[in-house]
């Protein structure tokens, strides 16, 4: 497995890392628990040692399934989890990164994950009111208490990230980045290099779209988030399907699958550390981990880079 040092820590993590949003079983259509557990175990067996989750995925369930699937191995791998999105009893989410909520959320994640210390703890999203320096100061206290080892920010702007590092260095930055969604990563890639933090991409497969299995006739079950995502609607969806055609051509020539090429494109992008993939089944894991261990040629990389969708170009 291809590895990289996590943000100057000396800890090696797999560059292809497993995301735990789908295994949380909420908002992804049908998810079978036994298959989800088998998927996590297959990832571990294939050399993945970096597992990403968040307390809000499945409202706590993703952390529980991940812990159950890993069993004793949960202490051997690097588990990253996040806090900052609360939820009500009727599953209505809202953002809160206040120090008081952080302490509660952290203890709850430790309980669900059944570990004493969270290797990598992210602030999930800005909440629009808590100064990030206050959250960071509380994270430092949690680290001093031995409850977390490393700190990351997810979905923060470059300016907010800089402000946060006035309190303590960061080991990871997480951002939405894929062939279909490139805008948010643009300012964070050079910043990650400057700060020595590992940049981790989410939505790397644009929620499954870049696997090439969806087309204009695809439909999604009631609670499936893809019913409301722009990538699957209107003009952006049509553009994405054209992008997938280009991806398919490159993949065919390489004897790879579109998912593998889409993930590889991220890994070959300068300053990308790790690409997360979500998966519900072992077969998806088996396919995705084969994005590791090879490279696109400069011409192949460039050909895919040029396929930026017009909507992305317009908003840049």
Closest residue by beta carbon to ligand NAP: 278
How big is the CA angle at 114 (ends 54 and 92), to the nearest 5 degrees?
Answer: 35
The DSSP code sequence of 108-166 is HHHHHHT-SSEEEEEE-S--SSS-HHHHHHHHHHHHHTTSEEEEEEES--HHHHHHHTT
- Give the angle subtended at the CA of 50 by the CAs of 59 and 116, to the nearest 5°: 65
Closest CB to ligand NAP among 56 and 195?
Answer: 56
In terms of C-beta distances under 8 Å and separation of at least 24 residues, what long-range contacts does 29-32 make, across chains too? 29/220, 29/221, 29/223, 29/224, 30/221, 31/280, 32/280, 32/281
Cα gap 202→267, rounded to integer Å: 12
Among candidate residues 191, 240, 235, the one with its CA nearest the CA of residue 214: 240
Least distance to ligand NAP, CB of residue 231, Å: 9
**Dihedral of the alpha carbons of 298, 300, 301, 304, in degrees to the nearest 10:** 150
Marked catalytic residue, from 57, 61, 101, 122 = 57
**Which residues have a Cβ under 8 Å from the Cβ of 252 and sit 6 or more positions away?**
none
Asked if residues 58 and 85 have their Cβ atoms less than 8 Å apart, the reply is no
Q: Helix, strand or coil for residue 269?
A: coil
Given the complex with ligand NAP, which of 21 and 165 has the nearer CB atom? 21
Dist CA 2 CA 46 (whole Å)? 11
Least distance from ligand NAP to the Cβ atom of residue 285, Å: 8
Least distance to ligand NAP from the beta carbon of 199, Å?
Answer: 12
> Which residues contact ligand NAP by CB under 6 A?
19-22, 28-29, 52, 124, 154-155, 174, 202-208, 211, 213, 259, 276-280, 284, 287-288
Nearer to ligand NAP, 220 or 301 (CB): 220
- Cβ within 8 Å of residue 166, ≥6 positions away: 133
SS3 call for 64: helix
Return the number of the residue (120 or 296) whose C-beta is nearest ligand NAP: 120
When the beta carbons of 24 and 101 are compared against ligand NAP, the nearer one is: 24
CB of 102 to ligand NAP, least distance (A): 16
Residue 134: name the closest of 108, 85, 101, 93 by CA.
101
Taking the least distance from each CB to ligand NAP, the nearer of 19 and 60 is: 19
301 catalytic per annotation: no
Question: At closest approach, how far in Å is the CB of 280 from ligand NAP?
Answer: 5
Q: Which is nearer to ligand NAP, 145 or 241 (CB)?
A: 241
Closest CB 144 distance from ligand NAP, rounded Å = 25
Q: How far is the CB of 224 from ligand NAP (least distance, A)?
A: 7
Within 8 A by CB and 6+ apart from 257, the residues are 211, 212, 251, 287, 290
Question: Which residues are known to be catalytic?
Answer: 57
């Amino acid at each position: 497995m291809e590895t990289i040092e996590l943000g100057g820590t000396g800890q090696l993590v797999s560059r292809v890392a497993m995301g735990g949003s789908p295994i949380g079983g909420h908002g992804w259509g049908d998810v079978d628990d036994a298959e989800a557990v088998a998927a996590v175990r297959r990832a571990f067996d294939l050399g993945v040692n970096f597992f990403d989750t968040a307390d809000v995925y499945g409202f706590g369930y993703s952390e529980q399934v991940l812990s159950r699937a890993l069993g004793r191995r949960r202490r051997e791998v690097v588990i990253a989890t996040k806090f900052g999105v609360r939820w009500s009893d009727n599953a209505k989410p809202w953002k809160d990164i206040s120090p008081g909520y952080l302490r509660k959320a952290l203890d709850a994640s430790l309980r669900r994950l059944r570990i004493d210390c969270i290797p990598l703890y992210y602030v999930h999203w800005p909440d629009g009111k808590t100064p990030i320096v206050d959250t960071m100061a509380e994270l430092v206290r949690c680290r001093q208490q031995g409850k977390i080892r490393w700190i990351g920010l997810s979905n923060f702007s470059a300016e907010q990230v800089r402000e946060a590092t006035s309190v303590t260095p960061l080991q990871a930055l997480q951002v939405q980045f894929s062939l279909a969604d490139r805008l948010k990563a643009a300012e964070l890639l050079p910043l990650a290099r400057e700060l020595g933090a590992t940049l981790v991409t989410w939505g790397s497969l644009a929620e499954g779209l870049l696997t090439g299995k969806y087309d204009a006739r695809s439909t999604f079950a009631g609670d499936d988030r893809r019913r409301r995502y722009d990538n699957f609607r209107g003009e952006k969806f049509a553009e994405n399907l054209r992008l997938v055609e280009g991806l398919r051509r490159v993949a065919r020539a390489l004897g790879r699958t579109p998912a593998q090429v889409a993930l590889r494109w991220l890994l070959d992008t300068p300053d990308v550390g790790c690409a997360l993939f979500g998966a519900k089944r072992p077969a998806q894991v088996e396919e995705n981990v084969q994005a590791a261990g090879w490279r696109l040629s400069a011409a192949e990389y460039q050909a895919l880079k040029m396929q930026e969708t017009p909507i992305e170009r317009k908003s840049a």
